[in-house]
Amino acid sequence: MAKPNLHTVAAHAGVSIATVSKVVNGVRYGISEATLEKVLASVAELGYRPNRAGRGLRTLRRSIIGLAIVDPSPAFLADPFTTNLVAGLSNHLSERGFGLLLHGIKPGQVDASFLVKETVVDGLCLLLSGSSEERRDTTRLFVGLGQPLVVFQEAPSESIADACFVNQDDGAGATALAHQVLRRGPKTALIVIPDIVWPAIELRLAAFSRILESAEVAVTVLRCDESNPDAIADTIGAHIDTAGRPDVILGANDNIAIVAMRLLQARGARVPEDVAVTGFNAFPSNDYAGLNLTTVRSAAYALGELGGRLMLERLETEGFEKREYTLPVQIVPGATA
């Protein structure tokens, strides 16, 4: 008897060869449950074995996890937070025989992305920028693929099934920094954040503003192109030229804080005597550069590791054990505030 192939399975199931190919490669997008069951039944009855059928016909395991990063910046992997998260996720998966399929997607192009149209992964991880409405719509689009989701740095949503939300406590970190600078008795504070909307940055901004304004500190918020040091310096410099030098500058990340420090020093201001400066993330590059920045140590690498562990555990069970995990962050006192 001839060995069954895609043609014989397609004829037996009464579907196209393309449909059979999608099913045996783990693609579920655009395929109804009825068609899926029909193809799988034919595969089992005919004894068809795809060459890459990793762990059997029931799961059609590919041993690949997808990571969609929605970021308008073409240099999205240059961001230290993203780099550390990806490293933690990739290393955890690699050590357990899984690969990571990474896809950077620009806003407005999600529905045309490879991970949506031709996905061959076992589960999906998401790291999303954009407004809350845009992130919600993007998440729902990926939910429609019928695969388990690990969503990084996003508030949990009870309306999204088979998903786990993995965060670090950005609000607590920003609160600790705000209390740190309040010891200096500031009257004015400048909060500088990226012009790309990230949910974690919005949490930091909210905590900074709440604590400082409750202490009657006059707060100004500036958005800047964080990928361009000159743009950061121009934004802060223009504000100082018109409004005067603030008592405190709180950068939403260390890159912004470092540029602020250099700008102040170039203008003859002392840090922290004249202006206190704080950052956020405290990645190892700070230590290599000999910086003693007052900041918060991010858990980005651990977030990636945890997301990978939770996804692999989910693939062996019927659901995620918990809906949300939040990792703590740690203030690094430094000498700039």
Task: Name residues whose C-beta falls within 8 Å of residue 16's C-beta, 6 or more positions apart in sequence.
Answer: 10
224 phi/psi in degrees, rounded to 5: -145, 165
In a domain, 334, yes or no: no
Instruction: Inform me whether the pLDDT recorded for 237 exceeds 70.
Output: yes
Domain range for residue 101? 64-168+300-327
Residue 330 has what pLDDT? 95
List the CATH number of the domain containing 22.
Answer: 1.10.260.40
Instruction: Inform me whether the pLDDT recorded for 25 exceeds 70.
Output: no
Q: Is the same domain home to 121 and 193?
A: no
Burial of residue 64 (CB within 10 Å: 0-12, 13-18, 19+) is middle
Whole-number Å distance between alpha carbons of 183 and 299: 26
User: pLDDT tens digits for 193-227?
Assistant: 999 999 999 999 999 999 999 999 999 999 999 99
List the CATH number of the domain containing 260.
Answer: 3.40.50.2300
Whole-number Å distance between alpha carbons of 163 and 142: 11
Q: Is the same domain home to 22 and 97?
A: no
User: pLDDT tens digits for 151-180?
Assistant: 999 999 888 889 999 999 999 999 999 999
Instruction: Inform me whether the pLDDT recorded for 30 exceeds 70.
Output: no
Number of domains comprising the chain: 3
Instruction: Inform me whether the pLDDT recorded for 59 exceeds 90.
Output: no
User: pLDDT tens digits for 305-332?
Assistant: 999 999 999 998 888 999 999 999 999 9
- Give the residue, 50 or 321, on which the prediction is more confident: 321
Q: Is the same domain home to 174 and 160?
A: no
Instruction: Inform me whether the pLDDT recorded for 278 exceeds 90.
Output: yes
Residue 290 has what pLDDT? 59
Residue 291, token pair as written in the block:
């910086």
Instruction: Report the percentage of the chain scoring pLDDT > 70.
Output: 92
Taking all residues of the chain, what is their mean pLDDT, rounded to a whole number? Answer: 91
In a domain, 272, yes or no: yes
Whole-number Å distance between alpha carbons of 207 and 214: 11
Please compute, for residue 97, the number of CA atoms within 13 A of its CA located in the half-sphere on the CB side.
Answer: 5
Residue 52 has what pLDDT? 45
Residue 50 has what pLDDT? 64
Residue 287 has what pLDDT? 61
Q: Is the same domain home to 292 and 305?
A: no
The pTM assigned to this predicted structure is 0.81
Residue 117 has what pLDDT? 81
Q: Is the same domain home to 94 and 71?
A: yes
Residue 214 has what pLDDT? 98
Q: Is the same domain home to 201 and 307?
A: no
Q: Is the same domain home to 132 and 189?
A: no
Q: Is the same domain home to 205 and 97?
A: no
Residue 5 has what pLDDT? 82
Residue 54 has what pLDDT? 41
* Poorest-pLDDT segment among 18-32, 144-158, 191-205, 235-249: 18-32
